[in-house]
Amino acid sequence: MRRLALVAALLLPVAGQAGEAATVSDDPVLEERVMRLSHDLRCLVCQNQSIAESNAPLAVDLRNQVREQFLAGKDEAAVVDYLVARYGDFVLYLPPFKGTTLLLWLGPGLLLVAGAGWLAWRLRRRVREAPPPLNAEEHARAAALLDGTAKPSQESRS
Amino acid sequence: MKAKFLVPLFIFLLLAGFLGYGLKLNPREVPSPLIGKAAPAFRVPQLQAEDKTISPEDLKGRVWLLNVWSSWCISCRYEHPVLVEFARNSPVPIVGLNYKEVRGDGAVDAKGLDPATELATARQRARQWLTEHGGDPYMVSALDLDGRIGIDYGVYGVPETFLIDQQGVIRYKHIGPITRESLRDVLLPKIAELQRAS
């Protein structure tokens, strides 16, 4: 009798969990699709989380919507269109390429090109402004300095 | 040559300008793609008249406000007195969209509730809240029990208010509680403009 009570007690939390998961279908392939797409969709309540990560009621509702639409035979693009029509591009973590997002998409590339151009210009100028190469006499003096055989009186100042 | 020293200052001012502008933006206000589009259709039971339904179709030809509310929504308590006052001599009808009255309340376990019980519970809760908070400013309230209408309207936080024109097109969306200021400065001028257009 005691053992039976223990088993019942141990099963209790499991029963509770089973109740929680009622809205999730038991098709693992479908669930995997739902979660994969949900990771790319932004939750509008906690804006730094995807609807896969967020437990906000709206995120749960939207996950259910995604699941329902998959079950109705829609593909990923159709589900994304459905959500964008209601919440705007804001729900996408990967914003589309269009007029208003031009700067967003091209900005970093433009900055890189501008930076590289500036660097090239600076380097070219540095070459142009570099001192002329040493003549034979200067070479000899440099060699002497390196050898330590140069006359100290002349070089100690520099 | 001297101007070269101004370059970092110029870059700083440019950055400060962008950041200053960014500070003023409210990330909670997501622009709605539904502006300029037809208000999504629905037909659901009314809150007060139990045998009647309500649909945006019923309001064709009028400028009206659709106000999303719920008894569990805290901000709605701040908005409500403003709506009650506004409704007394409002130039347009205010239609309520009661959003997930039972399921939306985290304190209630709505799982396994049968539809009839949920509808009755929602009516009882919503009516009680209206009575306790100064009256019913709505010409009629629609019951969106499962939040599906909310999703169709892109609702992501309660309260939200939509301004809809005579042709049933959404013209403006107000996010968050309506205040006396936003009513006076934004909503009323827009309403007047739409009514002149007819």
Contact at CB, B32 and A88, closer than 8 angstroms: yes
Domain borders along chain B are: 35-197
Per residue in A101-140, pLDDT tens?
Answer: 898 899 999 999 999 999 999 999 988 888 888 888 988 8
* Predicted ipTM of the assembly: 0.82
CB within 8 Å: A86 and B30: no
In a domain, A8, yes or no: no
Residues of A near B (CB-CB distance < 8 A)? 19, 22, 44-45, 47, 57-58, 61-62, 65, 84-90
Distance from CA of B19 to the nearest CA of A (A): 16
State which CATH number among 3.40.50.620, 3.30.70.20, 3.40.30.10, 3.30.460.10 fits the domain covering B35-197: 3.40.30.10
Residue B10 CA to residue A107 CA, distance in Å, equals: 19
For chain A, the first-to-last Cα distance in angstroms comes to 100
CB spacing of B151 vs A22 below 8 angstroms: no
- Residues A98/A100/A105/A110 CA torsion (nearest 10 deg): 120
Indicate whether A52 and A111 sit together in one domain. no
Cα separation, B161 vs B120, in Å, equals 25
Residue A60: give the domain boundaries. Answer: 23-96
Query: Which of B30, B99, B101, B170 is the best substitution to test chain A (most A C-beta atoms within 10 A)?
Result: B30
Q: What is the pLDDT of residues B27-48, one digit of tens each?
A: 778 889 999 999 999 999 999 9
Cα A33-A37-A40 angle, rounded to 5 deg: 155
Are B151 and A90 within 8 A, CB to CB?
no
In whole angstroms, what is the distance from residue B103 CA to residue A22 CA?
15
Torsions phi, psi for B113 (to 5 deg): -75, 130
Average pLDDT of the segment spanning A151-156: 54
Per-residue pLDDT of B143-194, as tens digits, reads 999 999 999 999 998 999 999 999 999 999 999 999 999 999 999 999 999 9
Is residue A34 domain-shared with residue A73, that is, in the same domain? yes
How confident is the model over B49-94, as pLDDT tens digits?
Answer: 999 999 999 999 999 999 999 999 999 999 999 999 999 989 999 9
Residue in B with minimal Cα distance to A86: B154
Q: Which of B32, B106, B156 sits opposite A45 (nearest CB)?
A: B156
Backbone angles phi, psi at A134, to 5 degrees: -70, 145
Q: Tell whether A27 and A92 lie within a shared domain.
A: yes
The rounded distance, in Å, linking the Cα atoms of B149 and B98 is 10
The count of domains in chain A is 2
